[in-house]
Structure 1
Amino acid sequence: MKMMAHRLIAVLFAWVGLQVPLSYAQNAPHLLMQQSGGYALQVGAVRVTALNDGTVPQDAKKLLRHISSAQIDKLLAHNFQSNPVEGSINAYLIQLPQHTVLVDTGAGQMFGPGKGGHVLADLAALGIKPDDVTDILLTHAHVDHTGGLIKDGKPVFTKATVYIGKPDIDFFFDNAQMKNSPYGQGYFTGARTTLKPYLDANKVKTFTGSELILPGITATVHPGHTPGAAFYRLDSEGDSITFVGDIIHIAAVQLAHPKVTIIYDQDQAKARAVRISAFAQFAKQGELIAAPHLSFPGIGHLRHDGSGYDWIPVDYVNRAAESVN
């Protein structure tokens, strides 16, 4: 029975958040395709652009842990949402003077037609070709972040160096871990399929702890969601933004109750601790953060609200700077 439950976890990891119930698909007139492109903002001297690989429905009641279905319904209703919740798959473009950097790559083709795969079109709309990308910063090795690395089985970003927390490589490419893991082989094959071409080409650089990896960009490992889950902080001219990876998936629930975990968290206790600590720190410091599964563009601030937090999205700006005579 225990093994069956673990196998179910693996199946849920791959599909439960990604399959659209027929009734939902047929009765959701709000579903539509958005134009390619992104939303840009300035962080010091650096242009950062949010890209969107698509959205997928998430069944919060099957995915979330340590909260009742009734509580989930109440919190979703408070945010004018209902189950399943539409979740973004965001990636981010950082344009440094000598580097064109992606933070995560989206799911690409890994979830099948209609479920992701828009990052390349977003880049094209910005005039950026795959070969223009010099560096890719992966927050972790799950396929909704690494899937865009390959297309039709071949590497997409052939000139890019891929950065990832070393513990993720050690874990997902360890045959003993895969053999003995309660999550099943499917948990490992996605990471291997998307990352192996870059490993074979010596295009992967790993880090542990905290390390300056590119001008103004510091990578820090925060194990929990995966063993090598990482944050990336960009500092420029006194401004900063931190790309936080998957410390949050369903905002209406996990902002109000940061102790709530999700089935995708490999180490539930560590993932919970990372979220609680990071939320508190970001709110105290007023840090600008970018989260891959919050509503596009997924960029904003956290503010304390009782025992939980409010999410304050970044302002939308659409005008040129005024000239100063």
Structure 2
Amino acid sequence: MYTRRNLLRGAAALAVLSTGMSGFGPALAKAPFQTFQAPGFYRLRLGRFEVTALSDGTVPLPLPELYTNTTSEHARSALAAAFQETPTQTSVNAFLVNAGDRLVLIDAGTGSYLGPTLGKLMGNLKAAGYQPDQIDDIILTHIHTDHSGGLSAEGDRLFRNATVRVNERELDFWLKTPVAERPASAPPQHFTEAHESLQPYLDAGRIETFADNGEVLPGIGSILRAGHTPGHSSIVIEDGGRKLVFWGDITHGDALQFDEPGVAIEFDVDQKKAVETRAVALDEAASERYMVAGAHIAFPGIGHVRRDETNYDWVPLNYSASAG
């Protein structure tokens, strides 16, 4: 069975190998090629909130082999039609919300779990002008390792002053489900990594849960979007007539699942429920015309959903040099 960890390790090794093979002789250019990107953060204002998208990195994933309810050949063709190669560079995004009186991080990246092309959140947080000790709250859309792995390292909390906030049923599933009752669609290592990432905060009394569709913090709400995981929740901010919904993992990528919402992915704990949830989320976003922020949509992962002749289309946010 595919799991995030073994897939991403393999993808990282492939990336390193391809980098090492990229040159076949001495460089003849006037200057050496530079292989790094600018720091991965992007800011925008939404009423009284300032939102900073933070990149945890990208990783090449064999998406055609991971998508279900379709064939790998069809998925490969659909991605190619959107000018996306296989393996497909897939973003892992987190988001920082400055509410004026507190700094709230939505998802915490992968940490050191999933290879060297990921785990960039902390560096990009600092590049964006913040320090981890400034974070007051961390809201998890769900507890998969690519969203919670960056919370801790070697048993220590990396965000010393933060309280982690997560849907109650999500926390119970990952930390309290007896081994004999764990579904095959949730690999054992995900439970292990959930404990490793969250236990330091539990020990410090720094975890609070929120109810289905409940308020997480003043001015910050949640929508239960179960399926990908049992307590998977989108996070909502709204002010000045504008609304932004942090989707979590409603989609993986910005092509196939917009055209074909019935396509699921191996990582879904309940694929049937995830498909139903995606249909609702896409319809609502297109109907209400609010902005969404996706964890696995090409960085910065913020944009709109519109209807088209093949169900839906992703429309990235128009770039602005001003954060105002």
- Equivalent residue for 1:89, pick from 88, 92, 95: 92
CA distance in 2, matches of 1:123, 1:210: 28
Q: May I ask how many residue pairs the two structures share in their alignment?
A: 311
State the distance in 1 between where 2:108 and 2:239 align: 23
C-alpha distance in 1, partners of 2:124/2:146? 16
User: Partner of 1:159 in structure 2?
Assistant: 161
What amino acid is the match of 2:6?
W
Does residue 239 in structure 1 map to residue 230 in structure 2? Answer: no
Structure 1 residues 249 and 17: alpha-carbon distance in aligned structure 2, compared to 1, 3 A threshold:
farther
Matched, 1:267 2:270: yes
Task: After TM superposition, list the pairs within 5 Å mapping 1:86-125 onto structure 2.
Answer: 86-112=89-115, 114-125=116-127
Is the Cα contact below 8 Å between 1:18 and 1:58 reproduced in 2?
A: no
Correspondent of 2:18 among 22, 26, 36: 26
Which amino acid letter does the alignment assign opposite residue 292 of structure 1?
A: A
Compute the displacement of 1:35 (Å). Answer: 2.3
TM-score by length of 2: 0.90
Corresponding residue of 1:3: none
- CA separation of 1:312/1:253 partners in 2, compared to 1, >3 Å: closer, same or farther? same
Show the counterpart of 1:4: none
Q: Look up the SS of the partner of 1:251 in the other structure.
A: coil
Could you tell me how far 1:93 is from its partner in structure 2?
A: 0.6
2: CA distance, partners of 1:47 / 1:250: 25
Query: What letter matches 2:83 in structure 1?
Result: F
Contact (CA 8 Å) 2:45, 2:323: kept in 1 or not?
no
Counterpart position of 1:174: 176
Alpha carbons of structure 1 residues 276 and 179: separation in structure 2 relative to 1, 3 Å: closer
CA RMSD of the aligned region, Å?
2.1
* SS of alignment partner, residue 255 of structure 1: helix
Shift of 1:151: 2.4
In the TM superposition, residue 14 of structure 1 has moved relative to its aligned partner by 2.4
The residue matched to 1:19 in structure 2 has which SS?
helix
**Does the 8 Å CA contact 1:18/1:115 hold for their aligned counterparts?**
no
Shift in Å at residue 320 of structure 1? 7.7
**In the superposition, relative to structure 1, how do residues 115 and 179 fare at CA in structure 2: closer, same or farther (>3 Å)?**
farther
1:1-325 alignment, distance < 5 Å: 8-9=1-2, 12-20=3-11, 22=14, 25-26=17-18, 32-112=35-115, 114-177=116-179, 180-182=182-184, 183-319=186-322
Identity of aligned residues (%): 36
Q: Hey, what's the Cα distance between the residues in 2 that align with 1:233 and 1:203?
A: 22
Aligned-partner SS, 1:210: coil
Query: Could you say if the C-alpha distance between residues 257 and 18 of structure 1 is closer, same or farther in structure 2, counting changes exceeding 3 Å?
Result: farther
Superposed structure 1 runs of 4+ greater than 6 Å apart: 27-31
Q: Mean Cα displacement is larger for which, 68-77 or 130-139?
A: 68-77
3-state SS, counterpart of residue 208 of structure 2: strand
Matched to 2:213, the amino acid is S
Cα shift at 1:297: 0.3
Instruction: Pick closer, same or farther for the CA change 1:176–1:244 going to 2, 3 Å.
Output: same
1:180 CA drift (Å): 4.5
Displacement of 1:175 = 4.6
Cα deviation for residue 264 of structure 1 reads 0.5
Inter-partner Cα distance in structure 2 for 1:199 and 1:133: 17
Give the TM-score normalised by structure 1: 0.90
**Cα distance per residue 1:156-211 (max 9 Å; x no partner):** 01111111111111111125146643244213111111011111111111112212
Aligned residue type for 1:205: E
Aligned equivalents of 2:120 and 2:217: distance in 1? 26
Give the counterpart letter for 2:5 in structure 1: A
Verify the 8 A CA contact 1:18 1:57 in the aligned structure 2.
Answer: no
SS at match of 2:248: coil
Gaps of at least 5 residues in structure 2 are: 23-32
Aligned partner letter, 1:104: D
Contact 1:88/1:293 (8 A) holds in 2: yes
- Distance, in Å, in 2 between the alignment partners of 1:76 and 1:24 is 23
Whether the 8 Å CA contact 1:36–1:118 is kept in 2: the answer is no
Q: Give the 3 Å change call, closer, same or farther, for CA 74–130 of structure 1 in structure 2.
A: same
Task: Give the Cα separation in 1 of the matches to 2:255 and 2:6.
Answer: 22
Point out the more displaced range, 154-163 or 25-34. 25-34
Query: Does structure 2 conserve the Cα–Cα contact (< 8 Å) formed by 1:45 and 1:236?
Result: yes
